[in-house]
Chains A and B, each alone.
Chain A
């Protein structure tokens, strides 16, 4: 479980706040992913980075802004979120982007008030 770390583990923020989620992988992988997991919905892929380049943006609202400064770090910047954005946000990594096995972090439980 220490291969992919996420901070913070829990976050409560108001709708006018700005916060960032951080993900770090220690596996030497070249692809990183952000997923959103809401109750009673399938895991939703938000962003994919392959060799630091964004390859997928699945129609995610602009209030979510990803940043990938290098292959080991991934951020998700949050601003002016809505209550329906409350969810578990999961980061994952894989050798390269595609159908390879993914290694997940423990997630950040986000509550928007």
Chain B
């Protein structure tokens, strides 16, 4: 069953603006991860946030996690054309799980 679902499915912004993507999931987790994928290529890991953390930063990325609402958000500040990609959240299945489950992704377009 699908665990993470991103929202919106597609987002188009001007360069310099901030982009916010959301992810909702269904079951308990140990951690939640965000990945980026440029068109037709492999995914690149961006950031991992543990279930006992509420917020995490990495460069222009800010991730929040609300386990009570089973949701996370990814904020990209001061976006650049190079940020154009699809962004996926991935959740583990809690204790004893061997796999990550990915959502359908948000397709971000940053217009120069």
**Do residues B44 and A98 form an inter-chain contact, with CB atoms below 8 A?**
no
Bound complex: CA of A51 vs CA of B38, how far in Å? 30
**Do residues B98 and A50 form an inter-chain contact, with CB atoms below 8 A?**
yes
**Do residues B100 and A45 form an inter-chain contact, with CB atoms below 8 A?**
yes
Which residues of B from 87 to 110 have beta carbons under 8 Å from A?
A: 88, 91-93, 97-105
Bound complex: CA of A109 vs CA of B41, how far in Å? 9
Do A104 and B99 contact each other (CB < 8 Å), given the known contacts A42-B104, A99-B30, A99-B92?
A: no
**Do residues B42 and A56 form an inter-chain contact, with CB atoms below 8 A?**
no
* 14 A-B contact pairs sorted by A residue (CB < 8 Å): A4-B42, A31-B98, A42-B2, A42-B101, A42-B105, A48-B99, A56-B99, A97-B99, A98-B92, A99-B92, A99-B100, A101-B48, A106-B41, A106-B42
> 4 closest A-B pairs (Cβ-Cβ)?
A99-B92, A104-B42, A43-B102, A97-B98
